[in-house]
Chains A and B, each alone.
Chain A
Amino acid sequence: MINKSGTLVIGIGNEYRGDDAVGLYVARKLSGFRLQSCAIKESPGEGTYLMHSWEGFEHVIIIDAVKSASKPGTIHRIDIPRQEIPSDWFPASSHLISLPEAIKLSQALGTLPASLVVYGIEGNLFDTGVKLTPPVKEAADSLIAALLNDISSRKENGRPTPC
């Protein structure tokens, strides 16, 4: 049973589309640490699934690949609802309800977690294949280290801390 007072981490991606899999890569690596008070999920990014997944959680972290014309491997931190999530950063979504739409819909319904942080890692190649490109993998590894600190310090302090 998942304790919803803990942290929920959702890694989003398509494992067969190169750097699009970076969210799944981060989620799988974090799962290996068997973190307490932390639930980890993987998702292809379908919006209604995401909304059902984060409902009731106070602290949610989402990792997904983005295309914002930044340097590949750049990590963007978007703190919802303080910051607005740019809809055009997720052009690869093949879902009717994308992550930005799911966040806006959840806000409208009052079901958005008190703290929802989206980490968008700038992708390089989204072609078919099962390998992350070096700058994206490097960024993912540094984010994993930062998230481990974030989740641990949250457990100690009982509140989320930025990383």
Chain B
Amino acid sequence: MKEKTKSIKVDYLARVEGEGGLHVKIKDGEVTDVKFNIFEPPRFFEAFLRGRMYTEAPDITARICGICPIAYQMSSVHAMENALGAKVDGQLRALRRLIYCGEWIESHALHVYMLHAPDFLGYEDAILMAKDHPEVVKQGLELKKIGNELVTLVGGREIHPINVKVGGFYKTPDKKDLKKFAKKLTWAQGAAHDMINFVSKLKFPDFAPKYEYVSLRHPDEYPFCEGRIVSNKGIDIAIEEYEQYFEEQHVRHSTSLHSSIKKRGAYSTGPMARYNLNFDKLYPVAQEAALKAGLKEKCDNPFKSIIVRSVETLQAIEDALKIIENYEQPEKPSVELTPKASRGCGCSEAPRGSLYHRYSLDDQGLILDAKIVPPTSQNQKIIESDLWKFVPKFMKLSHDELTWKCEQVIRNYDPCISCSCHFLKLTVERE
């Protein structure tokens, strides 16, 4: 039989944060290899945290990512407080949730409107989409701006905020400033409903693999910084037990470590996991909006993550409004901590998924070692797994369409390659 070889090359996959590559190999109509290559050089954050004071971790780790610095700050402060036996509660705890709401709003709005929606509408990028749908894009930008402003209000500045510290904050916001800001959030409530309505009308490929989802679960709230790590296949553990159940492996084609569940393999973290494991913790208005948008209480189609992110945006806005309504400026902006030789873990829900930190400290509070497991490391295996399943099912698509869809499979996860260790080069090779 005459051998046929086809290859598709995309030198630059736009609309993902960071640089990496993808190679899909197809032989005799079957997928024979999938590699999600991350070739961005390792950034050594865990190494240069060693020897620094525990108080420096939130500001150092925030530099890992310009989109989700709050996630890094929150996971690090909770890990340090876990190590030092401190408890931050009341209004300080509420303020932490408030700043996290800001990050979810800005990150989700960016991904839904600017990075993911063009895929569904057939535009190469948001610039081309903006020419036909200017009001939609303007609304997305305004929502993102409100998220950024909320981060600035609590955190001092929108990128790499400077007001978060182990034990609380350097300064707490005035009640009147938050009340004033609530007006913008009230506009955002309406915009989030429009957002959900807009994405619910998109066309989704028939693709729903069965996943093991992993996220935090809190008894009273949709998860941000606290709770137990749970999965839909029986995991229900304290954050401190994370490393007993999850491991990281080095694979040759990635400078970022691959996470997996020990003896089980790939799992999914992020909005889809949070939604599937915590639907009952969403506010009724968010539940109602999700169901009205066509989602059920469980959803396995990763392309519908665009709806889930929109629902989570509404949830974060509702949460922020509630926190502001009940806000009273605390007497002290932080709690006191005393350094001691210790070990502590923290996990929080970054927009892209669970972010685990673990630190060991000496008796002076110097960091002896650090471990950081970002969401994109955790989702790499499941991205590859999705491609293994997706390509055979859509093999009849033209080469260009299949390539686009493969890129979209990756963008479903809003990967932040910069976080995990920039540029995605995609090769689909057919033999």
Q: Give A contacts to B, CB under 8 Å.
A: 44, 46, 48-49, 51-52, 94-97, 101, 104-105, 108-110
Q: Which residues of B contact A44 (CB under 8 A)?
A: 66, 159
**Subset of 21 A-B contacts with CB under 8 Å:** A44-B66, A46-B159, A48-B110, A48-B144, A48-B145, A48-B148, A49-B159, A51-B141, A94-B418, A96-B15, A97-B114, A101-B125, A105-B126, A105-B127, A105-B130, A108-B130, A108-B134, A109-B130, A109-B137, A109-B138, A110-B134
CB interface residues, B 40-82, toward A, < 8 Å: 66-67
Cross-chain contact of B145 among A52, A94, A104 (Cβ < 8 A): A52
Residues of chain A contacted by B226 (CB below 8 angstroms)? none
B142, chain A: closest CB distance, angstroms:
9
Contacts of B384 in A (CB 8 A): none
Would you give the 0/1 interface string for B125-152, flagging 1 where the beta carbon is closer than 8 Å to chain A?
1111011001001100100110010000
Min C-beta distance of A23 to chain B, whole Å: 15
Most chain B beta-carbon contacts within 10 A, residue among A96, A97, A108: A96
- Bound together, the chains give a CA A127 to CA B138 distance in angstroms of 36
Q: Mark B3-41, 1 if CB is under 8 A from A, else 0.
A: 000000000000101000000000000000000000000
Binary per-residue interface labels of chain B (407-431) against chain A in the complex, 1 for a CB within 8 Å, 0 otherwise: 0000000000010001000000000
CB distance from A104 to the nearest CB of B (A): 5
State A109–B288 Cα separation when bound (angstroms): 33
A106 CA to B310 CA, complexed, in Å: 24
Q: Which of A49, A101, A108 contacts B131 (CB 8 A)?
A: A108
Given contacts A97-B114, A105-B137, 20 further A-B contacts (CB under 8 A): A44-B66, A46-B66, A46-B159, A48-B110, A48-B148, A49-B158, A52-B141, A94-B66, A94-B418, A95-B66, A96-B17, A96-B114, A101-B125, A101-B127, A105-B126, A105-B127, A105-B130, A108-B131, A108-B137, A110-B134
Complex CA–CA separation, A109 to B158 (angstroms): 24
B154 within 8 A of A: no
Q: A49-B148, A52-B145, A94-B422 are in contact. Are A108 and B66 (CB under 8 A)?
A: no
Asked whether B373 is an interface residue with its Cβ less than 8 Å from the other chain, the reply is no
Most-contacted residue by chain B among A49, A104, A105 (CB, 10 A): A105
CA gap between A95 and B138 in the complex, in Å: 19
Residues of B within 8 A of A101 (CB): 125, 127
Q: Which residue of A has the minimal Cβ distance to B111?
A: A96
Q: By the criterion CB–CB under 8 Å, are B127 and A108 in contact?
A: yes
For residue B70, give the distance in angstroms from its CB to the closest CB of chain A: 15
CA distance A108 to B158 in the complex (A): 25
Q: Is the interface of A mostly helix, strand, loop or mixed?
A: helix
- Of B67, B114, B115, B134, the contact of A109 (CB 8 Å cutoff): B134
CA distance A104 to B130 in the complex (A): 10
A88, chain B: closest CB distance, angstroms: 11
CA A46 – CA B65 in complex, angstroms? 13
Over the window 99-133 of chain B, the binary record of Cβ atoms lying under 8 Å from chain A Cβ atoms (1 yes, 0 no) is 00000000000100011000000000111101100
Q: Which residue of A lies closest to B67 (CB)?
A: A96
Provide the residues of chain B in CB contact with A51, threshold 8 Å. Answer: 141
CA distance A52 to B158 in the complex (A): 13
Contacts of B110 in A (CB 8 A): 48, 96
A155 to B303, CA, bound (A): 53
Q: Is B134 touching A48 in the complex (CB atoms < 8 A)?
A: no
**Nearest CB to that of A93 among chain B residues?**
B422
- Complex formed: what's the CA distance from A97 to B137 in Å? 13
Give complex CA distance A104, B110 in Å: 17
B181 → A minimal CB distance (Å): 16
* Chain B residues closer than 8 Å to A94, beta-carbon distance: 66, 418, 422
Query: Considering only CB atoms, which chain A residue lies closest to B142 in the complex?
Result: A52
- Minimum CB–CB distance from A80 to chain B (whole Å) comes to 14
B138 proximity list for chain A (CB < 8 A): 109
Q: A105: nearest residue on chain B (CB-CB)?
A: B127
Contacts of B131 on A, CB cut-off 8 Å? 108
Q: Are A96 and B158 in contact (CB under 8 A)?
A: no
Name the residue in B17, B127, B159 with the highest tally of chain A Cβ atoms < 10 Å from its Cβ: B127
Q: Please indicate the chain B residues that have their CB under 8 angstroms from the CB of A95 in the complex.
A: 66
Residues of chain A contacted by B159 (CB below 8 angstroms): 44, 46, 49
In angstroms, Cα B106 to Cα A48, docked, is 11
Contact B127 A104 (CB under 8 A): yes
A145 to B430, alpha carbons, bound, how many Å? 59
Alpha-carbon distance between A52 and B152 when the two chains are bound, in angstroms: 14
Q: Which residue from chain B places its CB closest to the CB of A51 in the assembled complex?
A: B141
Q: With a CB–CB cut-off of 8 A, which chain B residues contact A48?
A: 110, 141, 144-145, 148
Q: Bound complex: CA of A143 vs CA of B296, how far in Å?
A: 59
Residues of A within 8 A of B145 (CB): 48, 52
